[in-house]
Structure 1
Amino acid sequence: MIVFRYLSREVLLTLSAVSAVLLVIIMSGRFIKYLAQAASGQLDPSSLFLIMGFRLPGFLQLILPLGLFLGILLAYGRLYLESEMTVLSATGMSQQRLLGMTLFPATLVALLVAWLSLSLAPQGANQFQLLLNKQDALTEFDTLEPGRFQALRDETRVTYTEQLSADRVNLAGVFISQKNISTEQKDRGISVLVAEKGRQEIRPDGNRYLILENGYRYDGQPGQADYRSIKYDEYGVLLAKPDVSDEVTDRDALTTQALLSSDDIRYRAELEWRLSLPLLVFIVTLMAVPLSRVNPRQGRFLKLLPAILLYMAYLTILIAARGALEKGKLPPSLGLWWVHLIFLVIGLGLLYWEPMRLKMASRRSVREVARG
Structure 2
Amino acid sequence: MIVFRYLSREVLVTLSAVSAVLLVIIMSGRFIKYLAQAASGALDPGVLFLIMGFRLPGFLQLILPLGLFLGILLAYGRLYLESEMTVLAATGMSQQRLLVITLAPAALVSLLVAWLSFSLAPQGATQFQLLINKQDAMTEFDTLVPGRFQLLRDGSRVTYTETMSDDRINLGGVFISEKKLDEKKDHGITVLVAEKGRQEIKPDGTRYLILDNGYRYDGNPGQADYRAIKYDTYGALLPKPDISDEVTDRDAISTNELLTGEPSLRNKAELQWRISLPILVFIVTLMAVPLARVNPRQGRFLKLLPAILLYMAYLTILIAARGALEKGKIPMGLGLWWVHALFLSIGLALLYWEPLRLKLASRRSVSEVAHG
Q: TM-score, normalised by structure 2?
A: 0.98
1:219 aligns with 2:218: yes
Aligned match of 1:336: 336
- 1:59 paired to 2:59: yes
Question: Match of 2:248?
Answer: 249
Alignment of 1:182-193 (within 5 A): 188-193=187-192
Taking a change above 3 Å as real, the CA distance of residues 171 and 211 of structure 1, as seen in their structure-2 partners, is same
In structure 1, the partner of 2:303 is 303
Alpha-carbon distance between aligned partners in 1 of 2:140 and 2:367, rounded to the nearest angstrom:
84
Given residue 217 of structure 1, which amino acid in structure 2 is its aligned partner? R
Whole-angstrom distance in 1 between the partners of 2:90 and 2:209: 82
Supply the AA of the counterpart residue of 1:343.
Answer: F
* Residue 188 of structure 1: how far off its partner (Å): 4.2
Tell me the residue number matched to 2:364. Answer: 364
Alignment partner, residue 200 of structure 1: 199
- 1:228 and 2:227 aligned: yes
Structure 2's unaligned 5+ residue stretches are: none
- How far is the alpha carbon of 1:366 from its aligned partner? 0.3
Q: Matches of 2:238 and 2:211 in 1, distance apart?
A: 13
Instruction: Report SS of the residue matched to 1:102.
Output: helix
Secondary structure in 2 aligned to 1:204? coil
Q: Give the partner amino acid of 2:21.
A: V
Secondary structure of 1:242's aligned partner:
coil
Change in 2 beyond 3 A, CA 1:182/1:88: closer
CA offset digits 1:17-44 (Å, max 9, x no partner): 0000000000011100000000000000
Over 3 Å counting, the alpha-carbon distance change for 1:182 and 1:332 in structure 2 is closer
Distance 2:322 2:200 in 1: 50
Contact 2:181 2:187 in 1 (8 A): no
Mapped partners of 1:13, 1:113: distance in 2 = 17
Alignment of 1:126-145 (within 5 A): 126-145=126-145
After TM superposition, give the deviation of residue 205 of structure 1 in Å. 3.4
**Alpha-carbon distance in structure 2 between the residues aligned to 1:339 and 1:187:** 54
Deviations 1:263-307 (CA, angstroms, capped at 9, x unpaired): 100111111111100000000000000000000011111111100
SS in 2 for 1:355: helix
Q: Counterpart amino acid of 2:27?
A: M
Q: Does the CA contact (< 8 Å) of 2:317 and 2:339 recur in 1?
A: yes
**Quick check: 2:147–2:160 contact (8 Å CA) kept in 1?**
yes
Report the Cα distance in structure 2 between the residues aligned to 1:30 and 1:104, rounded to whole angstroms.
Answer: 33
Quick one: distance in 2 between partners of 1:182 and 1:74?
A: 60
Answering whether residue 102 of structure 2 is matched by residue 92 of structure 1, we say: no
Name 2:283's counterpart in structure 1.
Answer: 283
Alignment-derived partner of residue 314 in structure 1:
314
Counterpart amino acid of residue 113 in structure 1: V
User: In the TM superposition, what is the alpha-carbon distance from 1:212 to its structure 2 partner?
Assistant: 0.3
Q: Distance in 1 between matches of 2:177 and 2:333?
A: 57
Aligned to 2:30: 30
Q: Return the alpha-carbon distance in structure 2 between the equivalents of residues 346 and 86 of structure 1.
A: 25
In 1, Cα distance between equivalents of 2:275 and 2:36: 34
Deviation at 1:96, TM superposition (A): 0.4
* CA distance in structure 2 between the partners assigned to 1:82 and 1:336 by the alignment: 40
Residue 188 of structure 1 contacts residue 219 of structure 1 at CA under 8 Å; is this kept in 2? no
Q: TM-score, normalised by structure 1?
A: 0.98
Tell me the equivalent position of 1:75. 75
User: How far apart in 2 are the matches of 1:244 and 1:26?
Assistant: 30
Q: 1:190 to 1:270 in 2, by over 3 A?
A: same
| TM-aligned CA distance change 1:208 to 1:77, over 3 Å | same
Q: Which amino acid aligns with 2:200?
A: E
SS at match of 1:190: strand
Report the secondary structure of 2:268's partner residue: helix
CA distance in 1, matches of 2:34, 2:342: 38
Letter in 2 for 1:29: G
2:253 is the counterpart of 1:239: no
Aligned residues: 370
CA RMSD in angstroms, aligned pairs only: 1.1
Q: Does 1:209 align with 2:208?
A: yes
